[in-house]
Amino acid sequence: MAAPRCLPLAGPQAVHLLASVDTLLFDCDGVIWRGEQAVPGASEVLAALRRAGKRVFFLTNNSTKTRAMYAAKLRRLGLGSAESEVFGTAYCTALYLRKVAQLQGKVYLIGGQALSQELQEAGIAHLGPGPDPVLGGTSDWAAAALDPDVRAVVVGFDEHFSYMKLTKALGYLQDPTCLFLATNTDTRLPLEGGKAIPGTGCLVRAVETAAHRQAEVIGKPSRFLYECLASENNVNPARTVMVGDRLDTDILMGFSCGLKTVLTLTGFSSLEEAKSHESSDCPAKRSMVPDYYVESIADLLPALQA
Ligand SMILES: [Mg+2]
């Protein structure tokens, strides 16, 4: 019979888990911060982990910040960090294009400034960011000029997403050799007070629907953020734990990379959801069951002070 999962992480079990790992991966929003506020106790936990000689990394699906911007935010919130500890989808998308796809040619980018900056830093020529309103009628839209050097379409969060951009993306993607990447497929960005705005996944689905193609996804639950991290650092998955607030991204990625997983309840997913997956016979649901859960990562502090 399989070992029980979805256990509360406290007392001797927490001490044991922390002793059995040397690397901890944290999602950001809903885990170490919420919007512009650090989760209470997060800074103490991260400091105690570093003092204990643990390596700490941050894996985030949000494409609206560069590596440097994330490092600056971590420092601003007292969570301390070097750029080399951050693996966000803007940085990792650029890395994918340069190292994995070895792209020759330009990118048509549906995305914001941070993505544009990371592509630029990786030496990848691109066009597309900023407003692109529709003009004229349907025949003008279909005749929109396409750059013959574009070899990839990348979709990330873009507050200027428009019908014109969708039309151009379709134009490029009609060539089956044109690469199609998405930073992530999160459906909503939760905001303070229970509000939410549409996430990148909505834009990705629109382009996929128009192009009759599926994007390759960089962000969690895809393994690529972890693979980026592993390509720059010596990581043993058996001695690594992924801490996240979402079952369908953080925990699923941890599971498929062979990591230990901890769900924290300060963010998106609930314990009820995790328990219902645990009692399911469906393998896809069972791969979203965390090994452990905590109310907040602050709960790890006693184990670090033991
Ligand atoms: Mg999160």
**Is residue 160 a contact partner of residue 117, using CB atoms and an 8 Å limit?**
no
What number is the average pLDDT over the span 270-287? 96
pLDDT tens by residue, 169-189: 999 999 999 999 999 999 988
C-alpha of residue 59 to centroid of ligand 1, in Å: 9
User: Terminus-to-terminus CA distance in the chain, angstroms?
Assistant: 32
**Is residue 29 a contact partner of residue 268, using CB atoms and an 8 Å limit?**
no
| CA gap 269, 273 in Å, rounded | 7
Residue 52 is which amino acid? A
Residue 62 is which amino acid? N
The class (CATH top level) of 92-217 is alpha beta
pLDDT at residue 73 above 80? yes
| pLDDT score for 305 | 87
pLDDT tens by residue, 114-143: 999 999 999 999 999 999 998 899 999 989
Cis peptide before 221 (omega within 30 of 0): yes
**Residue numbers annotated as active site:** 27, 29
What number is the average pLDDT over the span 33-53? 95
C-alpha of residue 122 to centroid of ligand 1, in Å: 26
Q: Classify residue 123 by burial, with Cβ atoms within 10 Å: 0-12, 13-18, 19+.
A: exposed
Domain residue spans in the chain?
Answer: 7-61+221-305, 92-217
| pLDDT score for 4 | 82
What number is the average pLDDT over the span 227-252? 97
In a 13 Å sphere around the CA of 220, the CA atoms on its Cβ side amount to: 30
| pLDDT score for 191 | 82
The band of 2, judged by pLDDT with boundaries at 50, 70 and 90, is low
C-alpha of residue 129 to centroid of ligand 1, in Å: 25
| pLDDT score for 189 | 85
What's the token pair of residue 229? 């991290």
Across the chain, what does the average pLDDT equal?
Answer: 95
pLDDT at residue 107 above 80? yes
pLDDT at residue 146 above 60? yes
C-alpha of residue 56 to centroid of ligand 1, in Å: 16
C-alpha of residue 243 to centroid of ligand 1, in Å: 10
pLDDT at residue 215 above 90? yes
Enumerate the H helices of the chain as residue ranges: 11-19, 42-51, 67-76, 89-95, 113-121, 138-142, 163-173, 200-211, 224-232, 252-256, 271-278, 283-286, 301-305
In a 13 Å sphere around the CA of 76, the CA atoms on its Cβ side amount to: 10
pLDDT at residue 1 above 60? no
| CA gap 249, 242 in Å, rounded | 11
| pLDDT score for 266 | 95
What number is the average pLDDT over the span 55-80? 96
| pLDDT score for 192 | 79
Longest Cα–Cα distance of the chain, Å, equals 70
Instruction: Select the CATH number that applies to the domain covering 7-61+221-305 from these four: 3.40.50.410, 3.60.20.10, 3.40.50.1000, 3.90.950.20.
Output: 3.40.50.1000
What number is the average pLDDT over the span 20-46? 96
Q: Does the fold of domain 92-217 match that of domain 7-61+221-305? A: yes
